[in-house]
Structure 1
């Protein structure tokens, strides 16, 4: 169906444009979009690398490289996983939480400005998200 194809193409385009904006916001804090994305997922609570990769739609190996960098920089810590001894949970440290909170604050300001220019409301965003979540659910089945 053409409407589906067009939606997916637009999602890719907005994701690419958003990533460029995010890089510009993250750079002054010594971060990258990849690091920000991983910390963002983990801001909701500890996850394994494979679970984080699934959420981001990426290969676990690429997420593992980013996680290794975040562990080395002190933004993440590995904690025991009671469900799987070989797959530790990754958790934000205080430094990681402070960093992601600052990134979210910078992003909120920039996104509010973009949404104002676009004339898009929070309700419209939530409606669009609801459609995307339905599609995600169907594709995962």
Structure 2
């Protein structure tokens, strides 16, 4: 087995573990009664960090389908964490905005996740977590999923 073969196997394992970690966090949120699906959470988190956006721009930025984002927005509106506001540059395309309740819920969610992650990673050094983040960002930015090698 070559070094590249081993690296590919290791990175596949990273993807699997990241997926498991993400699903565990999502299930934990659902059990806490937030009623946030993974999609609604992704949209809400994005909108708490940016200005209100139309659904197509959210979908493009998050690399999700417009239909999925629209369903997530609809669920967020029903939950009271998202709302539609007028778009001054486009009469028919509303902007999706995080409500104050949505911003509070997202702040609580991030704080809770950080506490849980820290409790589970006490044995790691700051250098190890920084290296992990650097590796994940590098793989994310340098991987093109729509082209075969």
Using the size of structure 1 for normalisation, the TM-score is 0.76
Deviations 1:83-112, CA, capped at 9 Å, x for gaps: 665544322110101111111122121111
Higher helix content, 1 or 2? 1
1:41-120 map, 5 Å: 41-45=46-50, 46-81=52-87, 87-116=93-122, 119-120=123-124
- 11, 19, 39: which one pairs with 1:7? 11
Deviations 1:100-131, CA, capped at 9 Å, x for gaps: 11111221211111111xx2234323332223
CA distance in 2, matches of 1:86, 1:8: 43
Aligned residues: 139
Cα separation, partners in 2 of 1:9 and 1:88, compared to 1, 3 Å:
farther
SS in 2 for 1:43: helix
Aligned-residue CA RMSD in angstroms? Answer: 2.7
- Could you say which residue in structure 2 is the equivalent of 1:40? 45
CA distance in 1, matches of 2:108, 2:41: 11
- Could you say which residue in structure 1 is the equivalent of 2:147? none
Using the size of structure 2 for normalisation, the TM-score is 0.73
SS in 1 for 2:121: helix
Gaps of 5+ in 2: 145-149
Cα separation, partners in 2 of 1:120 and 1:62, compared to 1, 3 Å:
same
